[in-house]
């Protein structure tokens, strides 16, 4: 299959490009490079030995999307393009709704116009809001605590409406999959690609890694008074290559099943680790100290969140296989060999 990968130069997108190419698929990458680098795609080619077309454009640009669909026979779309920082979304909500929601609307309109029906959407566990219990299954009530999560939930609702419209008309056009993933970490085992945030990292592990490599002085731990084992937030951390392989499994499922509703799968490990446990694990992997300071809680954060991934295992034949040690070792290999991230 030929897959259009929006946001394909980004952290999760680039690793998924590797998984797709290694599975024998062709890819076309579409990315505005607002938080990514073309170097990541050069290294995807280096790792896989394969080349592919790259379009530097924005998903809110309908003409740019039309040109891609007109030039290439696209069979499916994996949609990663979107803003993803919880804190930033609380300060700049309009930017998040414009990019994440309006961009997806434009993409779906272009897909419909060019008769491309299969879409896998990059959603998030943030759509579960502040869950009352864990682990979290796909049928949990949906709510959000920040504009980032709200933008993801809005898109999910739009996709469900597309399927509902299909069912009303008897058209059965759309084949839609929603992947709600928890906390991606780690890097490709080669150390050639990994997470390369611009400015101060918003996510925990790249922040830890930049402290360990000496790029940042110390880690700010947001909140030490949560009702958890050590007072710090607990999350389900999943290796980014396990996540990437989950996308390929979802694509295989949609291409072999004629679904009449929107398919939803959690991608996580089913285990939760606290911030302090993550710091300790990274110190062991890197043999470097990670100084930290516990500060006030961050707006929009919750105490704990981890997945029940059994549906993905049952329906997709997918299960996370890389453990916490592999996540940390691969993250350190990337950061230690690329202390400044991708070259400009």
Active-site residues: which are they?
148
Which of these, 18, 114, 8, lies nearest to 54 by C-alpha position? 8
What DSSP character marks residue 226? S
3-state secondary structure of 55: strand
The residues near 21 (Cβ < 8 Å, ≥ 6 apart) are 27, 44, 48, 50, 52
3-state secondary structure of 280: helix
Question: Quick one: CA dihedral 220, 224, 226, 227, positive or negative?
Answer: positive
Q: At 210, which helix (H) or strand (E)?
A: helix 204-212
Work out the end-to-end distance of the chain between its first and last CA atoms, rounded to an integer number of angstroms.
32
The residues near 54 (Cβ < 8 Å, ≥ 6 apart) are 8, 9, 28, 29, 31, 38, 41
Which of these, 175, 14, 153, 138, lies nearest to 81 by C-alpha position? 14
- Extract the tokens encoding 194: 């990994």
Strands 234-235 and 273-274, by their bridges, are antiparallel
Query: How far, in Å, CA of 239 to CA of 128, rounded?
Result: 21
Which of these, 262, 206, 256, 192, lies nearest to 17 by C-alpha position? 192
Q: At 105, which helix (H) or strand (E)?
A: helix 103-113
Which of these, 91, 109, 89, lies nearest to 150 by C-alpha position? 89
Which of these, 181, 184, 247, 206, lies nearest to 17 by C-alpha position? 247
């Amino acid at each position: 299959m030929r897959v259009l990968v929006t946001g394909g130069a980004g952290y999760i997108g680039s690793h998924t490009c590797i998984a797709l190419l290694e599975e024998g698929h062709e890819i076309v990458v579409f990315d505005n490079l607002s938080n990514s680098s073309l170097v990541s795609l050069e290294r995807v080619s280096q790792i896989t030995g394969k080349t592919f077309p790259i379009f530097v454009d924005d998903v809110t640009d309908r003409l740019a999307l039309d040109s891609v669909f007109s030039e290439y026979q696209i069979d499916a779309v994996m949609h990663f393009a979107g803003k993803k920082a919880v804190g930033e979304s609380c300060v700049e909500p309009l930017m998040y709704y414009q990019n994440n929601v309006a961009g997806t609307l434009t993409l779906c309109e272009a897909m419909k116009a060019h008769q491309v029906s299969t879409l896998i959407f990059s959603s998030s566990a943030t759509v579960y809001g502040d869950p009352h219990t864990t682990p979290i299954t796909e049928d949990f009530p949906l709510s959000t605590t920040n504009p980032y999560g709200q933008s993801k939930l809005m898109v999910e609702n739009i996709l469900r409406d597309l399927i509902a419209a299909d069912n009303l008309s008897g058209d059965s056009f759309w084949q839609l999959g929603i992947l709600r993933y928890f906390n991606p970490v780690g890097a490709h085992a080669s150390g050639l690609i990994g997470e390369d945030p611009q400015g101060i990292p918003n996510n925990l592990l790249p922040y830890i890694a930049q402290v360990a490599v000496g790029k940042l002085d110390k880690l700010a731990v947001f909140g030490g008074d949560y009702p958890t084992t050590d007072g710090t937030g607990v999350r389900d951390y999943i290796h980014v290559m396990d996540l990437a392989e989950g996308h390929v499994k979802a694509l295989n499922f949609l291409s072999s099943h004629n679904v009449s509703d929107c398919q939803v799968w959690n991608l996580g490990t089913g285990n939760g680790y606290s911030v302090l446990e993550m710091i300790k694990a990274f110190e062991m992997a890197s043999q470097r100290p990670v100084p930290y300071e516990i500060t006030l809680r961050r707006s929009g954060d919750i105490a704990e969140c981890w997945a029940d991934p059994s549906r993905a295992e049952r329906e997709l034949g997918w299960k996370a296989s890389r453990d916490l040690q592999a996540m940390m070792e691969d993250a350190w290999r990337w950061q230690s060999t690329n202390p400044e991230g991708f070259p400009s």
